[in-house]
């Protein structure tokens, strides 16, 4: 590892590895620090990735991307960064016994989807069978015409139902908690013929024809289920550096994707 990197990429999912490939091909010295929890590892077979007409697993894609980044000189270190600071030359970062010094850092730490109450083994099996899904933009095509359930209780979940209605006319929203939807949301869902089922959605089980769960009105079963429960945004490192974040943890940027952090590079050269 060079004493000082041009760039430390934090996060080795598709975003971080893409950055590493580009940066290394600009003849920059790059290391990727990766906690190895990419969401892509949960993709059984992605069908929307250009260039893979027969699909590719998320794990397979990451293996290829890692190899490509390494081929051009990126170093990949499996570690979780938990400390980051500004220093005289740029940034210093530490975690899991590793320390990095870099002129710049690129944070590509992703998000974690919030899960419904399903144990890990069942969750993994349902994902692998395509009974549980998280990204209708990625794989809504695969549920075309199917009986689909969305889990959630807010405007975001209703939007997900609305989007899925462009793939199938059998969409139901199962509330993830007791209580009713706000009237305006319920009215909109009624207009687009989305059935609303009282919650909480729980006691999930794989059946021959889908994934079932208990609801306020008994057990319901769907060929595919999309939790729409939001995500935990991994913006802690950016926050440590002083970046402003929204209430959801998303980093605030301007119309040029710039954070509120001062441009250190410019400060140093001026």
Ligand X SMILES: Cc1cc2nc3c(=O)[nH]c(=O)nc-3n(C[C@H](O)[C@H](O)[C@H](O)COP(=O)(O)OP(=O)(O)OC[C@H]3O[C@@H](n4cnc5c(N)ncnc54)[C@H](O)[C@@H]3O)c2cc1C
Q: List interacting residues with ligand X (CB under 6 A).
A: 10-16, 33-40, 42-43, 46, 48, 80-81, 108-110, 113, 127, 134-135, 138-139, 234, 237
Least separation in angstroms between residue 217's CB and ligand X is 28
Spatial separation of the C-alpha atoms in residues 90 and 103, rounded to whole Å: 4
User: Closer to ligand X at the Cβ: 166 or 239?
Assistant: 239
Query: How far is the CA of 90 from the CAs of 7, 86, 137, 141, 241, in angstroms?
Result: 10, 6, 37, 45, 12
User: Closer to ligand X at the Cβ: 8 or 175?
Assistant: 8
User: Closer to ligand X at the Cβ: 11 or 200?
Assistant: 11
Question: Do β-strands 224-227 and 147-151 pair in parallel, antiparallel, or remain unpaired?
Answer: parallel
Least separation in angstroms between residue 55's CB and ligand X is 8
**Contacts of 33 by beta carbon, 8 Å cutoff, 6+ apart:** 8, 9, 10, 11, 12, 77, 79, 80, 81, 93, 95, 98, 100
Least separation in angstroms between residue 185's CB and ligand X is 25
Least separation in angstroms between residue 243's CB and ligand X is 14
- In this chain, which residue has its C-beta nearest to ligand X? 13
Least separation in angstroms between residue 34's CB and ligand X is 5
| Contact yes or no for 223/147 (Cβ under 8 A) | yes
User: Closer to ligand X at the Cβ: 93 or 196?
Assistant: 93
| Contact yes or no for 213/236 (Cβ under 8 A) | no
Least separation in angstroms between residue 191's CB and ligand X is 29
Least separation in angstroms between residue 13's CB and ligand X is 2
**Contacts of 213 by beta carbon, 8 Å cutoff, 6+ apart:** 116, 149, 151, 174, 201, 202, 203, 204, 205, 219, 220, 221, 225
Least separation in angstroms between residue 186's CB and ligand X is 28
User: Closer to ligand X at the Cβ: 139 or 185?
Assistant: 139
Tell me whether the omega of the peptide bond preceding residue 226 falls within 30 degrees of 0, making it cis: no
User: Closer to ligand X at the Cβ: 131 or 234?
Assistant: 234
User: Closer to ligand X at the Cβ: 106 or 221?
Assistant: 106
**Strand partners of residue 91:** 86, 102
Nearest to 158 by CA among 141, 135, 182: 182
**DSSP 3-state assignment of 205?**
strand
User: Closer to ligand X at the Cβ: 59 or 195?
Assistant: 59
DSSP structural state of residue 142:
G
DSSP structural state of residue 60:
H
């Amino acid at each position: 590892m060079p004493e000082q990197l041009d760039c430390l990429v934090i996060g080795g999912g598709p975003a971080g590895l893409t950055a590493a490939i580009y940066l290394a091909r600009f003849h920059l010295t790059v290391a990727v620090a990766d906690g190895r929890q990419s969401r892509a590892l949960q993709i059984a077979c992605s069908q929307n990735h250009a260039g893979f007409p027969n699909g590719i697993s998320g794990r397979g894609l990451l293996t290829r991307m890692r190899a490509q980044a390494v081929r051009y000189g990126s170093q990949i270190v499996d570690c979780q960064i938990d400390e980051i600071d500004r220093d005289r030359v740029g940034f210093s970062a530490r975690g899991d016994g590793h320390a990095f010094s870099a002129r710049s850092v690129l944070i590509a730490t992703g998000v974690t989807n919030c899960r419904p109450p399903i144990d890990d083994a069942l969750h993994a099996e349902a994902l692998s069978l395509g009974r549980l899904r998280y990204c209708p933009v990625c794989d809504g095509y695969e549920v075309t015409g199917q009986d689909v359930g969305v889990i959630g209780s807010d405007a975001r979940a209703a939007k997900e139902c609305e989007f899925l209605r462009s793939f199938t006319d059998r969409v139901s929203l199962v509330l993830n908690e007791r209580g009713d939807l706000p009237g305006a949301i319920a009215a909109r869902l009624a207009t687009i013929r989305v059935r609303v089922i009282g919650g909480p959605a729980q006691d999930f089980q794989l059946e021959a024809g889908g994934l079932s769960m208990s609801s306020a009105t008994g057990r319901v079963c769907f060929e595919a289920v999309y939790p729409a429960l939001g995500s935990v945004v991994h913006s802690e490192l950016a926050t440590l550096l002083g970046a402003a974040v929204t209430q959801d943890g998303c980093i605030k940027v301007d119309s040029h994707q710039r954070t509120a952090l001062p441009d250190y590079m410019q400060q140093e050269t001026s």
